[in-house]
Amino acid sequence: MKIGIVFSGGAVRGFAHLGILKALQEMGISPDYISGVSAGAIVGAFAASKMEAEAAYDLIERSNYKSYLKLAFSRMGFLKLDRVEDLMQKHLPHTFEELALPLSVNATDLTTGNEVFFNSGPLLKPILASCCLPGIFEPVWINQQQLIDGGVLNQMPYEPLEAHCDILIGCHCNPIGDLESPITSMKAVAMRSLYLAMAKASHFKSKRFDVFIEPPLLQNFNVFDTKKSRDVFRVGYEYTHQMAPELEKLREQLSF
């Protein structure tokens, strides 16, 4: 039986995916196909390279990835991802075909409003496009398409895996809960509104997955708080181990 894993977006919360992946690896559950969006596209690429989750976390942290974000000073976004591409070139294959496992990443065509899926050809530009949170990062151009974060339309892109997988595991790192204090800035209002809309759409899709992993404690972490990446990793890891009974049933299915 073939297993597909889908990783949502979530900026710094995406480190939880690596914790989830580490726990699954310890349980002997490994994907055959992977799909990811935004931060999940980056995690998906490392997973599709068959890099151990802890090693991927250490690599990203040691890279001081925050310094690779370059100010754009344009009307299209505050930051550019050019130097992040340079970073990925050092540690990831340059094409989808070079990955050890099949990977799909999705972006949003800003002009047509359509989803765009990538699973062949150059790898790094599609990952960058998938990560382009609107208003924060400058859009990425691929094949004359102006692309932004795929999570705007689809935070749980399971569709490319349906025809190939018997079991689907969904990893969602944007639970929505009550805020401890009122929102006090325009930026916070915009981001909260965006995540509320995306979370609702994701939960509509959650029933499509055989196992849906969504650590509730992640709601306590700001999606841009880079100082909490290890804590976020730990939350994903510990919550997945708490789901051991449900995941053990999945392992029993795989043994048939």
> Is the Cβ–Cβ distance between 72 and 84 less than 8 Å?
no
Range of the domain at 118: 3-250
Which of the residues are catalytic? 38, 149
The per-residue pLDDT for range 182-208, each reduced to its tens digit, is 766 776 676 667 667 767 767 778 889
Whole-number percent of the chain with pLDDT over 90: 59
CATH number for position 198: 3.40.1090.10
- Number of domains the chain contains: 1
Q: How confident is the model at residue 66 (pLDDT cuts 50, 70, 90)?
A: low
Chain centroid to Cα 222, Å, comes to: 16
pTM of the model: 0.89
Q: Residue type at 138?
A: E
Residue 255 lies in a domain: no
